Structure 1
Amino acid sequence: MSQPSTAPARPAGPRVPEAVHRRRWAVLGVLMLSLLIVVLDNSILNVAVKTIAAPAPTGIGATQSELEWSINSYTLVFAGLLFTSGLLGDRLGRKKVLLFGITVFGIGSALAALSGSPGELIAYRAVMGLGAAFVMPATLAVLMNVFERDEQPKAIGIWAGSVGLAIAIGPITGGILLEHFWWGSIFLVNVPVVLLALALMLWLVPDSRDPNPGRVDIPGVLLSVVGLVLLVYGIIRGGELASFTDVTVLAPVLGGLAVLVVFVLHERRSDHPAIDMSYFKKPAFSAAVAAIALVFFALMGVTFFSAFYLQSVRGYSALESGLLILPLAVAQMVFAPRARLVVERFGARAVCTAGMLLVALGLAAFAFFEADTPVWVLEVVFFLQGAGMAHIMPPVTVSIMQALPREKAGSGSAVNNTFRQVGGALGVAVLGSVLSSTYRGEIEGHLGAVPAALRDTAGESVEATLAVAARLGPAGKDLVAPAYTAFLDAMHVTALASAVIGVVGAVVVALFLPGRAPTGAPGQGATTPNQTPATTPTS
């Protein structure tokens, strides 16, 4: 394959080679398939948490903390390596990085399917996170290099809409698989899709790179990984102990914050930073990044406990739970590709603020859900959440990507996805800890008749309490109703906390995201047009 070349800026004409331009929509389809695999896997896992928590042979007996780490091991490796993968894509070629990432993701999926213990599942999920870290930035970077600037908002909207498709397919696919096969099939299903994606990538996707790449900032990447792992571990530990003042909680939390401060200082002084801190001097860029982090902080935590609400409290199967979440996915698929039209009329600030408030409203609704709340109410809330997300993700992604030169698309995409994943990881950790500690506080008063050896386990989660109740036989029946009540109370508290985060996000975008662009302005959400020399993709 020939090397990419630097093309002169041609504001009046296309900068994408004609051969690449003609197949741009086919390339977008391949990129969406790659994104679909990564997002689908997480949406499947959310439906499967109850099954994985069950004792063998149904599941592997994962505890609440182990379930959180099966999500966080993936997310932390993903977030920690996004800086490096984005830079490597710009330096070595985005197609090469994409092929590497999807291959590693497929191998990790096969290994995760064969996990014999929660520890193995956590480790193999980390391998999957490694692969995904090289896939996500590359898909958006390739998109920015095969579409002209005026088509990028439309392409990004479709790209974001594929997330809705994954949310729809994931739980339904997971539910069908769990009803007919063992729990590991939710990971094994990734393998044939990965093989198809590899074949299509080799055939259709052009390569591109930054003609003037810098060195990889290895110290910066290591600092970010260490800081995030310490911080989130401390928060999860706090949830396990139902106390945030214990030394085993404070030490990693404070240590993680200190390492992250060192990371920021290092990045500001480095001549080859993993993340260029000057990006954040642009209010639109910073506001867009903050919006992504905050909305995923709120939503990922709620997604985690909603699976237990639907399956443990409401008694729905994994497949039925997946079908109930369908309105959220449908709303994203319908509205995300059209978000650019609303932004053109009302401006990114108004649209994203309304989207954030809609998401916050949907999160707050969980504070009023009970065991007998009508199903249609749940469906309306899920649809509103999906509609809100569909009017947040495309505009803020356009704001981030069009604020940077095209040849820096890899690092720009890495910033976008890093804050999304860090926000999601912290959401699961913080809101999961709030849920766990509140539940423990509510249920402890009802565990007097439980043998001392089982008391600590029984107080960990609603699933743990119900499992202990089943082991105790008739003597455990009195635990069931208090377990449901304690979980609902904990869910209400957690939902209100997540809604507050959503409102904070709305305030941030209302204050700092740009308003309606002047008539004829190129793109949406961009601060200035990119007229710098671009990387020419090789066909």
Structure 2
Amino acid sequence: MPQSVASRNRSFVSTARQRWAALVVICAAELLVVLDNTVVNVALPSMGLQLRSSISGLQWIVDAYTLTFAGLLLAFGHLGDRYGRKKVMIVGLVGIAVMSIFGAVAADLGQVILARAAMGVCAAAVFPATLALIINIFTDAKERALAIAAWTAMAGFAIAIGPTAGGFLLEHFSWHSVFWINIPVAAAVVVAAIALVPESRASHVGKYDPLGIVLSLVGITVLVWAIIEAPHQGWLSAISVAGYTVGALSLVAFVWWELRTDSPVLDMNLFRIRRFSLPALAIAVGYFSMFGFLFMITQYFQGVMELSPLEFGIHSLPFAVSIAVGAPVATLIAQRIGTTAVIVFGLLVMSAGMFIAGQVEVETPYLGPVLISMVLMGLGLAIVQGPATESIMSSVSLDEAGAGSAVNDTTREAGGTLGVAVLGSIVASIYTTKVGPKIDAIPDAIMEPYQKAFARETVVSVIEIVKAPTNPLFATQKAELVYAMKAASLEGFQLASFVTVGAALTCAVVVAIFLPWKRPEGSVFLVTTR
């Protein structure tokens, strides 16, 4: 039997020192991609104030990145398998650096969103390659589990340093700095990757699938656009219903085509493997909850608690540390007791955290329900994602590592994108309904029309309202308006949290019923368990 390309590649990393050095570089590349999401969350209020953005505009700053990221992960996963994972990863890193320059010099909301979308395209080239390279570099099952645990923990580390680093930058510079910071990081990782990471590619690849890529990208983009714009257009308006319909039909056509083409960008047969499909579902629900939670808690800390960006970063550290600590521990525990029990437990912990978060009121202190909910959310996500990732990657062959990694990453990003869109839109709908009439009643002499429009959209506008000079005669009215805005946003948070709790509990039941509880014999990473 001829030696595969993957086997030949592993000869370059025969020593443990070489393998772990390569892992450090790969995790640094992952760090950059995840950092782009966490840092920009902290900068959203500053962007909103300077660019006069509505809450849907802020959602698009986040979702422009995650949409192109999620839509193109499958394509770049196959490109990595075909042309070399290291090569595709380096191209993506260079692209992130270049697009970050465009984001840093952007002068309006449209330019920022365009730069973020382009950065998402480049990030899609990096992310599948990282996990696929790990699978090919680490051949020993225990080492591979540790490497995957480190990979999942890095996401938690990025969440940990993202808000704090972003807060530090915003404390001393403008929001443009969250783009500038990417450039030296990307340059350093590229140099290290060239020197320390071995190349790998699949020994056999099929034809490319451009129609599948287009259908998946159109379906996800249009569906999320419709959800984000629904609070403004009307949830059942003609344009919203048209968006839902086009998005859903595109995704149905994508599935139909992938089942019939000889070389699908996504092998739908993988979803018949329960140790692949059910952990992927758990990751999607976990990231649906986490991205929505992060989007909401950004507004809570800066709009309700009126914290500075740096204070927000420091206050969010318990959430991030919980992920960084919990992911590797959960992965190792799953090696002993099985994946199913760990994933189910993680979903239950996450649902408890979101339920507590939904009980927070304007007067609720940080040291209490707020802190507890963050720790539980972080632990829950960590407990789910480490074992789920290990299960997904154990269900594909080495030659399919790029495609398997892309599916794993796509479920994360699709879930996260929908989390921001759905939960953000629920908050926006309730907030606008409650606050709109109160703002409309304020004379234009007190609040200018653009100030009213911004205040009607997001609780982050509290920052500007509180700082604005006010005639003492209207001080009481101003205080009442600020309190009403905070209370309305938290009412929206409560409903959004209940939606998340329902999703997590439903997923826990499905996983508990259909995912095998007994760990498969052996530790070989091949498609063996159906």
> What is the CA-CA distance between 1:412 and the residue it aligns to?
0.4
Amino acid at match of 2:11: P
Cα pair 1:53 1:62 within 8 Å, conserved: yes
1:147-197 CA distances to partner (integer Å, 9 max, x unpaired)?
A: 014121111001100111111111110010000011110111111111110
d(CA) in 1 for partners of 2:121, 2:9: 33
CA change 1:300–1:382 in 2 (3 A) is: same
The alignment status of 1:79 with 2:70, answered yes or no, reads yes
Stretch of structure 1 that moved more, 364-373 or 174-183: 364-373
Task: Indicate the residue corresponding to 1:221 in structure 2.
Answer: 213
> What is the CA-CA distance between 1:466 and the residue it aligns to?
6.3
Stretch of structure 1 that moved more, 165-174 or 443-452: 443-452
d(CA) in 1 for partners of 2:3, 2:232: 54
List runs of 5+ in structure 2 lacking aligned partners.
none
1:228-278 CA distances to partner (integer Å, 9 max, x unpaired)?
A: 11111111110224x211112111111111111111101100001000011
d(CA) in 2 for partners of 1:236, 1:386: 25
Amino acid at match of 2:10: V
Q: Secondary structure at the match of 1:213?
A: coil
Q: Secondary structure at the match of 2:358?
A: helix
Task: Indicate the residue corresponding to 2:49 in structure 1.
Answer: 54
Task: Indicate the residue corresponding to 2:31 in structure 1.
Answer: 36
d(CA) in 2 for partners of 1:17, 1:74: 36
> What is the CA-CA distance between 1:441 and the residue it aligns to?
1.4
Q: Secondary structure at the match of 1:368?
A: coil
Q: Secondary structure at the match of 1:408?
A: helix
Amino acid at match of 1:274: V
> After the TM superposition, which residues 92-131 of structure 1 pair with which residues of structure 2 at under 5 Å, given as runs?
92-131=83-122
Cα pair 1:91 1:213 within 8 Å, conserved: yes
TM-score (norm 2): 0.93
1:50-84 CA distances to partner (integer Å, 9 max, x unpaired)?
A: 111113xxxx2222111111111111111111111
1:16 to 10, 14, 21: 10
Cα pair 1:340 1:394 within 8 Å, conserved: yes
Task: Indicate the residue corresponding to 1:482 in structure 2.
Answer: 484
d(CA) in 2 for partners of 1:234, 1:451: 33
Task: Indicate the residue corresponding to 1:535 in structure 2.
Answer: none
2:21 to 23, 26, 48: 26
Q: Secondary structure at the match of 1:392?
A: helix
1:206 to 193, 198, 214: 198
1:463 to 432, 441, 460: 460
1:417 to 409, 421, 427: 409
> What is the CA-CA distance between 1:390 and the residue it aligns to?
1.7
Amino acid at match of 2:488: A
Cα pair 1:84 1:221 within 8 Å, conserved: yes
Q: Secondary structure at the match of 2:30?
A: helix
1:302-334 CA distances to partner (integer Å, 9 max, x unpaired)?
A: 110111101111111111111111112212222
> After the TM superposition, which residues 95-494 of structure 1 pair with which residues of structure 2 at under 5 Å, given as runs?
95-150=86-141, 151-241=143-233, 243-377=234-368, 378-450=370-442, 453=449, 457-464=454-461, 467=464, 473-474=470-471, 475=474, 477=478, 478-494=480-496
Task: Indicate the residue corresponding to 1:497 in structure 2.
Answer: 499
Task: Indicate the residue corresponding to 2:523 in structure 1.
Answer: 522
CA change 1:246–1:52 in 2 (3 A) is: same
Amino acid at match of 1:6: S
Cα pair 2:101 2:179 within 8 Å, conserved: yes
1:487-522 CA distances to partner (integer Å, 9 max, x unpaired)?
A: 11111111111121121221222122232326x621
> What is the CA-CA distance between 1:337 and the residue it aligns to?
1.7
Amino acid at match of 1:32: C
List runs of 5+ in structure 1 lacking aligned partners.
531-539
> What is the CA-CA distance between 1:374 and the residue it aligns to?
2.5
CA change 1:259–1:379 in 2 (3 A) is: same
Amino acid at match of 2:219: G
Q: Secondary structure at the match of 2:4?
A: strand
Q: Across the two proteins, how many residue pairs are aligned to each other?
A: 516
d(CA) in 2 for partners of 1:402, 1:438: 43
d(CA) in 2 for partners of 1:256, 1:64: 22
> What is the CA-CA distance between 1:19 and the residue it aligns to?
3.8
> What is the CA-CA distance between 1:409 and the residue it aligns to?
0.4
CA RMSD of aligned residues (A): 2.2
CA change 1:465–1:162 in 2 (3 A) is: closer
Amino acid at match of 1:494: A
CA change 1:8–1:37 in 2 (3 A) is: closer
| Aligned sequence identity (%) | 37
Bigger helix fraction: 2
